[in-house]
Structure 1
Amino acid sequence: MRKKILAVLLVLTLVLTALAGCGGDNKDAQGDKDGYRVAYIARAQSDSFAAWLANEMKAEADNYDDITLDVIDGQADDEKENAAIENAIANGYDAIIVQPNNGEAQRPYVEQIVSAGIIAITTNARIDGIEGASSVDADPYVQAKVNAEAAIKQVPKNGKVVVLKGPSGNFHADERLKAWKEVFFSARPDVKILAEDFANWNKDEAMQLMEDWIMAHGEIDAIISMNDNMAAGALEAVKGKAEYADILSYGVDGTAEACLLIEEGKMTSTCLQSAIDLAKLNMETVHKLLTGEETQIDTDIAAPLITKDNASEYVNIYKERGLITE
């Protein structure tokens, strides 16, 4: 791929505030901006979407004169993320936004945020049922549904597919898989699942699984992935192999990499989970909660399908934001 994809390099460029494992008051590290101190506990900077979202959160926070946002990397590890939440509580932030690694593992720690009298928001994915906490998310069932509906007509009769799953117990992973089962597989009983496994949103894990499946099964008509990062990894495993030139591939997120792959005809479709929109909505939400304009907010972003017909529109958006360079 000739274009450099900044979304893939966010891991190297994101500036994080090193709070995990550090005690004491961080007020001196907040700069000259007066107002509210907000901590954003990101799931993992090794995940291209999570890294993109963290960068967009920082950029959007800069639009608020009364908000200082610190981003903390949970490193895709429940213990580290939970420790980061406890640290943020101890450091007296006015609001804490949590992007869970595993919703149920973070639930009691988000409850601690509420108990401490600090504004709590869960995002990408929300944790339902925490009294006093707000949420900003997308509907993962709908995200998969729009892909699954398209796949009903696209996957060949008696097609052979593989399925890449997100982390077990993750709300988005579970709901997307549920949609594929209820919308696609129930309508296409002729389709055979050759293999399915957890790749945990990880590109390298997905590539390794796909390499194994190629060896074990040979012919594969479609890759059904719960996110773009895993889909891209699976496609990397078949890159340059003529027998897989027409393989179908579905994802979710609408990352810069996925949009380029779709534009080039290497990926079939994805559903946009816009980190730009999520960040904007998160900052709007936390500001309303901090200023007392509202006391409880639960809201979702839209879920448009991206295909070869409209991928260039999103590629141009990413170019404008500097996320794709020639």
Structure 2
Amino acid sequence: MKKKVISAILCAAMVSTMAVGCSSSDSKKDSKSDKKDGYKVAYIARAQEDSFAAWLADEMRAAFKKTGDMSLEVFDGEANDEKENSIIENCIANGYDGIIVQANNGEAQLPYIQQIVEADIPCITTNPRVECEGTGSVDADPYEQAKVNCELALKKIPKNAKVVVLQGPAGNFHSTKRREAWKKEFFDKRSDVKILAEDIANWNKDEAMQLMEDWVQAYGQIDAVISMNDNMAAGAIEAVKDNAKYKNMQAYGVDGTAEACLLIKEGKMTSTGLQSAIDLAKMNTEAMHDVLTGKKKVTDINDNVPAPLITSDNVDEYIQMYKDNGQIKE
């Protein structure tokens, strides 16, 4: 009988302990979805020198301000993997409620993004998407962004044209997929077109300008610049702006930045696939809010923004958009 009483007491204690454990877990979950003092979110931007990354960071700040219950701190990765990885570690240590990562190099940032997941902090990767179990993503389809340019280039780039190609950072998902689209959707279909040179300019305008200056000296005639983003395309255009020989040179990019739209309007750039920082920021903000307030699991977040083509036919509406948000002054 005595043994039975002791056994009953032990069982009761175990049930009590299990109940306390579950209650504590639920209480922690509830406190996270009902945080009275607001949620603190970190956004780690790839590089503020990149015009698109800078635009996205500005739009992120604006979108988060409208929420009322989330604050955002923006960090600059400076296009440096070690710098960005160090920032990620610091954000984990500082206990942010959520972290949004714009990777410079998805492969280099992956182990550190995994650390965010292991720390039980909701993580969204954006522009580009980084495939990592336990995270969400808000992005654009880089293949589609380039493909819309390719469809136009098939018609516009002259027969037997000589072109140069500007790539983003090695290992960057967006650069890789855009280049893949150009191969499959343009170069494989236009065997007459010759690639004179191809190099990495790291999304950077100055690096692209230097490469273009070297290529002009080496090759003379260049009929088109195939760039994986607008910033590099703008650098290539800048390099030949005073050279009448390149008056009819075509240039293709991705992002739909304010600068690119003005270059299209001026007839210096052919087209760009829009990657709307406004839409990306809005979707990231809404997604993180849904996760932090318990409406969604972070792994449910897998969204893409559309990629319309901007040309001389429709550029005025995008220029007006930039005037409205202050990026282009009247």
- Normalising by structure 2, we get a TM-score of 0.88
Query: Which amino acid in structure 2 is aligned with residue 111 of structure 1?
Result: Q
C-alpha contact 1:126 1:137 (8 A) present in aligned 2? yes
What secondary structure sits across from 1:38 in the alignment?
strand
What secondary structure sits across from 2:153 in the alignment?
helix
Q: Once the two structures are superposed, what CA deviation does each residue of 1:136-162 show, in whole Å capped at 9, x if it has no partner?
A: 000000000000111001000000000
Tell me, in whole angstroms, the C-alpha distance in 2 between the residues paired with 1:312 and 1:106: 38
What secondary structure sits across from 1:164 in the alignment?
strand
**1:182 is matched with which residue: 181, 184, 195?**
184
**1:54 is matched with which residue: 49, 52, 57?**
57
Aligned to 2:130: 127
Tell me, in whole angstroms, the C-alpha distance in 2 between the residues paired with 1:73 and 1:206: 21
Shift of 1:46: 1.0
What secondary structure sits across from 2:316 in the alignment?
helix
Q: 1:264-283 maps to which residues of 2 (within 5 A)?
A: 264-283=266-285
Q: Once the two structures are superposed, what CA deviation does each residue of 1:253-304 show, in whole Å capped at 9, x if it has no partner?
A: 0000000000111100000001111000000110111111110211100000
What secondary structure sits across from 1:303 in the alignment?
coil
What secondary structure sits across from 1:251 in the alignment?
strand
Tell me, in whole angstroms, the C-alpha distance in 2 between the residues paired with 1:310 and 1:126: 29
C-alpha contact 1:78 1:102 (8 A) present in aligned 2? yes
Tell me, in whole angstroms, the C-alpha distance in 1 between the residues paired with 2:252 and 2:37: 45
C-alpha contact 1:220 1:244 (8 A) present in aligned 2? yes
Query: Which amino acid in structure 1 is aligned with residue 303 of structure 2?
Result: T
C-alpha contact 1:160 1:222 (8 A) present in aligned 2? yes
Query: Which amino acid in structure 2 is aligned with residue 188 of structure 1?
Result: R
What secondary structure sits across from 2:272 in the alignment?
strand
What secondary structure sits across from 1:194 in the alignment?
strand
Query: Which amino acid in structure 1 is aligned with residue 250 of structure 2?
Result: L
Q: 1:2-151 maps to which residues of 2 (within 5 A)?
A: 34-128=37-131, 130-151=132-153
Q: 1:288-303 maps to which residues of 2 (within 5 A)?
A: 288-295=290-297, 296-303=300-307
Which runs of no fewer than 5 residues in structure 1 stay unpaired? Answer: 1-32
Tell me, in whole angstroms, the C-alpha distance in 1 between the residues paired with 2:79 and 2:284: 21
Tell me, in whole angstroms, the C-alpha distance in 2 between the residues paired with 1:118 and 1:198: 34
Q: Once the two structures are superposed, what CA deviation does each residue of 1:22-48 show, in whole Å capped at 9, x if it has no partner?
A: xxxxxxxxxxx9310000011111111
Aligned to 2:247: 245
Query: Which amino acid in structure 1 is aligned with residue 226 of structure 2?
Result: I
Q: 1:196-211 maps to which residues of 2 (within 5 A)?
A: 196-211=198-213
Shift of 1:241: 1.1
Query: Which amino acid in structure 2 is aligned with residue 91 of structure 1?
Result: N
Query: Which amino acid in structure 2 is aligned with residue 318 of structure 1?
Result: Y
Tell me, in whole angstroms, the C-alpha distance in 1 between the residues paired with 2:306 and 2:254: 13
**Larger radius of gyration between Structure 1 and Structure 2:** 2
Aligned to 1:305: 309
CA RMSD between the two structures: 0.8
Aligned to 2:4: none
Asked whether 1:256 is paired with 2:251, we answer no
Which runs of no fewer than 5 residues in structure 2 stay unpaired? Answer: 1-35
C-alpha contact 1:34 1:67 (8 A) present in aligned 2? no
Tell me, in whole angstroms, the C-alpha distance in 2 between the residues paired with 1:217 and 1:137: 37
Tell me, in whole angstroms, the C-alpha distance in 2 between the residues paired with 1:158 and 1:137: 35
Aligned to 2:322: 318
Tell me, in whole angstroms, the C-alpha distance in 1 between the residues paired with 2:223 and 2:210: 18
C-alpha contact 1:168 1:198 (8 A) present in aligned 2? yes
Greater percentage in helix:
2
* Segments ≥4 residues shifted beyond 4 Å: none
What secondary structure sits across from 1:325 in the alignment?
coil
Shift of 1:231: 0.1
Q: How many residues align?
A: 293
Tell me, in whole angstroms, the C-alpha distance in 2 between the residues paired with 1:74 and 1:248: 32
- Normalising by structure 1, we get a TM-score of 0.89
Tell me, in whole angstroms, the C-alpha distance in 1 between the residues paired with 2:267 and 2:236: 15
Tell me, in whole angstroms, the C-alpha distance in 2 between the residues paired with 1:131 and 1:222: 40
**Identity of matched residues, %:** 68
